[in-house]
A and B are shown apart, each in its own frame.
Chain A
Amino acid sequence: MDNPLDTQEKYSKYVDKKSPNSPILKNCFNAFWVGGLICSIGQIIANFCKYQGMEQQSANTVVSIILIGLAAFLTGLNIFNKIGKFAGAGSLIPITGFANSIVSPAIEYKSEGYVMGVGGKMFTVAGPVLVFGISASVIIGIIATFFVGG
């Protein structure tokens, strides 16, 4: 009889075979419609702003501000994590997920004080996104300036 404990590779294959998989179809479906709903809300806000006579760029900023504010508020009320559990990437990929990833450690580490707790640990989840996002934008900016003539 083949013993899965013989080597790490065998055990890894054994574990993959035995462990239940995430319900991918269901998760995708929920992510799709919740993500779509969030984006539609954003579009409605943008259209409303433009209808009120706002420029496209200002309208986009207003959408970001409202969605971030809403996600942060819902995180504080312990509602956003329930949406996230249900929708996964649907609520994580839009800007709402980014807001949640900053507000949730801030709440979690408040118990360690405002400076070292909230201030120091606020970016534990979002930190990599910021570091690599900003680095990438700087590199792209340099390329654009020198080669595209931005």
Chain B
Amino acid sequence: MNKLGKQTIKFDNPPTISQTASIVGPKEAQGPMAKYFDQCLEDEFWGEKTWEKAESKIIKETTNMVIAKSGIASNEIDFCFAGDLLNQCISSSFGLREINIPFFGVFGACSTFVESMCLGSICIESGCAKNVICATSSHFCSAEKQFRFPLELGNQRPPTSQWTVTGSGAVILSASGQGPFITHATPGKIVDMGIKDANNMRCCNGPCSL
């Protein structure tokens, strides 16, 4: 593992994505990518009383699913990197409290998942882990509640507003396997171009990726 250029990490023994799992909400299930998800939910509560609990359940079931699919015993997974959008990352910390794997809470908003995979890869490459699990979740309703307005409020969404995904994704990264491999990681810098519109997240994010 060494550094290339200004901000890229090159992995000598690239970690492999050995298993993936995803669970999404009803709106995502209507989209063109529905057939690629492992499970599509019919309602946003999924039998829970609050959206936060529903989000916790989604990330919990997704990580359970990825472990089950991989066939790797959960005590052979060394670390867990996970995060979500809510304050104190409550969805992942409550959702994953029973998973019993050492836990790193990660927050990068839209980049949480990729950030956790970068950190997981570094962890594997350093030799201190054979398998790590990386997961993230978000929920449209809990995100709207925390960051914008109550759902029942009769306000208009501008054409530039985005829709937070209801769902969760999880991967298991392993030191050896068939691939796909993570060969490099390039973390971005914080770029603030002064956009203040809470409904126009893409214009905020855009400059970071250039």
Contact = CB atoms under 8 A, between A and B. Distances in A.
A84 B156 CA distance: 7
Given A19-B200, A19-B203, A111-B49, A78 B193 contact: no
Q: Per DSSP, are chain B's interface residues mostly helix, strand or loop, or mixed? A: loop
Given A12-B193, A12-B194, A15-B195, A78 B152 contact: yes
Contact of A101 (B51, B153, B156, B157): B153
Interface residues of B, number: 24
Given A5-B193, A8-B193, A15-B195, A22 B154 contact: no
B193 A11 contact: yes
B207 A5 contact: yes
Interface string A86-129: 01100110000100110111011101000000000000010000
A149 interface: no
Contacts of B159: 19-22
Contact of A75 (B152, B155, B194, B210): B152
B114 to A, nearest CB: 21
Interface of B: 49-52, 145, 149-160, 193-195, 200, 203, 207, 210
Interface of A: 5, 8, 11-12, 15, 19-22, 27, 75-76, 78, 80-85, 87-88, 91-92, 97, 100-101, 103-105, 107-109, 111, 125
27 contacts: A5-B193, A11-B194, A15-B200, A19-B159, A20-B160, A22-B156, A22-B158, A22-B159, A76-B152, A80-B152, A81-B151, A81-B152, A81-B154, A84-B153, A84-B154, A84-B156, A88-B155, A92-B154, A97-B154, A100-B153, A104-B149, A104-B152, A104-B153, A107-B150, A109-B150, A111-B52, A125-B150
